[in-house]
Amino acid sequence: MDATLTFLGTGTSMGVPTLACACAVCTSADAHDHRLRPSVLLQWHGAETGTERAVVIDTGPDFREQALRAKVARVDAVFYTHGHADHILGLDDLRPLSFVSDRRGGPIPLYADQETAAVLRQVFAYTFSPQATYPTRARVELKPLAARNPVDGVEFLRIPLLHGEMPINGFRFGNAAYMTDVSAIPESSFALLEGVELLAISALRHAPHPSHATVEQSLAWARRVGARQTWFTHIAHDLGNEETNRTLPANARLAYDGLSVPVTL
Ligand SMILES: [Zn+2]
Ligand SMILES: [Zn+2]
């Protein structure tokens, strides 16, 4: 089944431009160098119903702006990689989309591991607490993240990853995988990546960082996975789009906000 993967945001946690920074990338006139916080949107026509389906991975602080730009009119499920601010703070902007979902039949399922769900319950207590009575709260429902999570016939596989010391999740769907904020891939996760042709993976910069992979590390993983096409995301202001792309192999590029690529589910 044909689907489209859209990069809603490709920046690191502080975004690019970064506040108070006047470096060449932060002041670049190239739109590819403007990066909102990391998130992707997967859209396809449902096997069971034939209607359009849309899944978002992470709702960061820029979600509203990203959803407007991508003309997102429905969200069928959200998957969370982990509970850091740059991946969750836009949850409240799901509200209007959740009202649409609720009228259609139910709340939007939010798939999160236990640690992430605990953060979401705390940050958005007025949405999730059993005593929540705020009338226009998001119509969303936390669902435990399993090894396999079907959405209208499409399986989303959880790929366990490490983000510094913190266990987080990547996701595989069809011939593609999305792995952001990764600094180490457990050996057992490589089996789940067998046959992945399109890899979307974070690559912060060239200099080492305790909780994020460098471009070189992510390139090495892409080679090991055997990806035919690799798109880097969660990119810091150290990397200019054009100059970095000139140094990369032909099948690897920095993604940019708004980029859509075809995937097969
Ligand atoms: Zn992040
Ligand atoms: Zn993070």
In a domain? residue 134: yes
- Contact assessment for residue 81 and residue 72, using Cβ atoms and an 8 Å cutoff: no
Q: How many CB atoms lie within 10 A of CB 1?
A: 12
- Which ligand approaches the C-alpha of residue 202 most closely? 1
Cα(13)–Cα(35) distance, rounded to whole angstroms?
10
For 206-261, where are the alpha helices, taking DSSP H only?
215-225, 241-247
* Residue in the block written with tokens 């044909």: 2
The enclosing H or E element of 236 equals none
Give the per-residue pLDDT at 51.
87
- Which ligand approaches the C-alpha of residue 60 most closely? 1
Residue 180: pLDDT above 90?
Answer: yes
Three-class SS state of 184: strand
In a domain? residue 262: no
How far, in Å, from the CA of 170 to the mean position of ligand 2? 12
Average pLDDT over residues 152-172: 97
In a domain? residue 56: yes
Backbone angles phi, psi at 110, to 5 degrees: -115, 115
- Contact assessment for residue 37 and residue 11, using Cβ atoms and an 8 Å cutoff: yes
User: How does pLDDT run across 196-238, given as a tens digit for each residue?
Assistant: 999 999 999 999 999 999 999 999 999 999 999 999 999 999 9
What is the CATH number for 195? 3.60.15.10
Residue 132: pLDDT above 90?
Answer: no
Residue 133: pLDDT above 90?
Answer: no
Q: Which residues, 6+ apart, have CB-to-CB distance to 65 below 8 Å?
A: 36
In a domain? residue 126: yes
Tokens of 128: 């999730």
Q: How many CB atoms lie within 10 A of CB 32?
A: 17
Give the per-residue pLDDT at 46.
81
- Which ligand approaches the C-alpha of residue 163 most closely? 2
Three-class SS state of 230: strand
Q: For the chain, first and last CA: distance in Å?
A: 5
Cα(109)–Cα(151) distance, rounded to whole angstroms?
10
- Which ligand approaches the C-alpha of residue 119 most closely? 2
- Contact assessment for residue 57 and residue 81, using Cβ atoms and an 8 Å cutoff: yes
Cα(98)–Cα(179) distance, rounded to whole angstroms?
26
Residue numbers of the domain that contains 118: 2-16+25-256
User: How does pLDDT run across 91-108, given as a tens digit for each residue?
Assistant: 999 999 999 999 999 999
Average pLDDT over residues 74-98: 98
How far, in Å, from the CA of 233 to the mean position of ligand 1? 10
The structure's pTM equals 0.97
In a domain? residue 265: no
| DSSP one-letter code for 31 | G
In a domain? residue 263: no
Tokens of 64: 């509203």
Percent helix, strand, coil in the chain, to 5, is 25, 30, 45
- Which ligand approaches the C-alpha of residue 183 most closely? 2
Average pLDDT over residues 5-31: 98
DSSP letter string over 52-104?
Answer: EEEEEE---TTHHHHHHHTT----SEEE-S---HHHHTTGGGGHHHHHHHHHH
- Residue 50 confidence class, pLDDT cut points 50, 70, 90: confident
In a domain? residue 125: yes
Average pLDDT, the chain: 96
- Listed residues: CB within 5 A of ion ligand 2: 84, 181
- Total domains present in the chain: 1
Give the per-residue pLDDT at 47.
72
* Residue in the block written with tokens 């119903």: 49
User: How does pLDDT run across 57-75, given as a tens digit for each residue?
Assistant: 999 999 999 999 999 999 9
In a domain? residue 58: yes
How far, in Å, from the CA of 15 to the mean position of ligand 1? 10
